[in-house]
Amino acid sequence: MRGRLVRFAAVGAVNTATYVGLYLLLRPTMGYLAAHVVAFVLAMVGSYFLNCRFTFRTRPSLRTFLLFPLSNVTNFAVTSAGLYLLVEVFAVNERIAPLLAAAVAIPVTFLVAQSILTQRRTRPTVDGREPEVRS
């Protein structure tokens, strides 16, 4: 699992660089908010395929593709709550707090992504044999 977490963090770094690069590339041709949304969505799609291939070594599917954004929602929720708690409750400097919140969010987001991308479904059998496992 440690190797997966390291690969997940590496994919996250690539995802962040992709987002920033796309945002900067798109920003001159559209408003900053539109550039943010397009860059975010494209980076998330890339992150899905990289996580399937390198982090979890699983086959992409429409089902997991549609569920994968939940890992980004989880990341947003954990970093937002963490940021608020660190700044407002624990008086951590606003410049350092996002890094600490992100450090907490990575393993949580990893667990959600792992659950989505590696969830196995079984089909019931009538003849008593072991169910077939599908990814």
pLDDT in tens, 101-128: 888 888 999 999 999 999 754 444 444 4
- Any domain includes 135: no
- Any domain includes 87: yes
User: What is the rounded CA–CA span in Å between residue 19 and residue 10?
Assistant: 14
* Count: domains in the chain: 1
Residues 11-26 have a mean pLDDT of 93
- Any domain includes 127: no
pTM of the model: 0.75
- Any domain includes 133: no
Find where tokens 């410049």 sit: 95
Q: What is the extent of the structural domain holding 21? A: 2-121
For the cut 50, the answer to whether the pLDDT of residue 130 exceeds it is no
pLDDT for 1: 75
- Any domain includes 134: no
**CA 33 → CA 23, 24, 61, 79, distances in Å?**
9, 12, 30, 20
- Whats the size of the chain, residue-wise? 135
For the cut 60, the answer to whether the pLDDT of residue 88 exceeds it is yes
